[in-house]
Amino acid sequence: MNLSSQDFSLHRDSLSSLFNRIDGRQLQNVFEEPWFNRLVPNAAKMLGCGQGSVVHLEGDVAVHTGAVFDAIGEVAVRRLGRGADFIEKLSAVLHDCRKPATRVDNGDGSVSFPGHEALAADEVPAIAKRLRMTTEEANRLEFIVRHHGDVHGWPDLAEEVKASLRSSPYFTSLALLQEADALCCILPGGVHLAVYWDDMVLGK
């Protein structure tokens, strides 16, 4: 698929159609495309952005994002009996897009990305405007991206924070991203981050 040669329209329907035709490996090629970097400035910097040798042993930010893009569809089928919708797929694409701008080498093999969730979420309104998304779509996308890091620490969140997140109509989509993201964050020994679907959604 020669993405650079197509007359790509920055519209949510065009991007949705593209997402339905590609997999996570092809998504990594999209990050290099000029049109995508007009939509998400500096998206190409995800390519080659290392994540250290302590967590995210699957590879750089682009590799991880491609894996999450594939996984969120699989998780949605398994958990909800349907495929991931456009906003859920776009949340997978954008959730770590500002890691390159926040990367901190801690000097011990670990790397951190403080504030990358909020930085990406703050850009959602501009991205949504470029794609001519609805207000509801933009609000949903911003919620998922902003809180995806919070819910990786679900057991330690205060009960009032959990209740506030659960009260959102977008909470199930956030739980989908948490599982997809966790499954694609590889730790030493080949294990992955904890998945909290049962606790988050089923209250178990």
Q: Over the stretch 73-103, which tens digit does the pLDDT of each residue have?
A: 999 999 999 999 999 999 999 999 999 999 9
* Both structure tokens of 91: 């949340």
Spatial distance between the Cα atoms of 52 and 75, rounded to a whole number of angstroms: 26
- pLDDT reported for residue 7: 42
* Both structure tokens of 4: 């650079």
- pLDDT reported for residue 10: 77
Hey, CA dihedral for 154, 118, 141, 48, is it positive or negative?
negative
Architecture of domain 9-202: Orthogonal Bundle (1.10)
Spatial distance between the Cα atoms of 9 and 189, rounded to a whole number of angstroms: 43
Average pLDDT over residues 150-162: 98
- pLDDT of 117 > 90? The answer is yes
144 neighbors 120 (Cβ within 8 angstroms): no
Interhelix angle 116-131/135-147, nearest 10 degrees: 160
Neighbours of 84 (CB within 10 A): 25
Question: What ranges in the chain are assigned the alpha helix state H?
Answer: 12-19, 24-30, 34-39, 61-80, 86-94, 99-102, 116-131, 135-147, 159-166, 171-183, 197
- pLDDT reported for residue 200: 97
* Both structure tokens of 69: 């893009």
* Both structure tokens of 189: 């020994």
* Alpha carbon separation from 114 to 104, 127, 152 (Å, rounded): 8, 22, 14
Q: What is the pTM of this model?
A: 0.94
Spatial distance between the Cα atoms of 79 and 68, rounded to a whole number of angstroms: 16
Helix or strand or coil: residue 110?
Answer: strand
Average pLDDT over residues 8-13: 78
Q: Sorting pLDDT into bands at 50, 70 and 90, what band is 9?
A: low
- pLDDT of 3 > 60? The answer is no
Q: Cβ neighbours of residue 86 under 8 Å, at least 6 residues apart?
A: 12, 15, 16, 19, 137
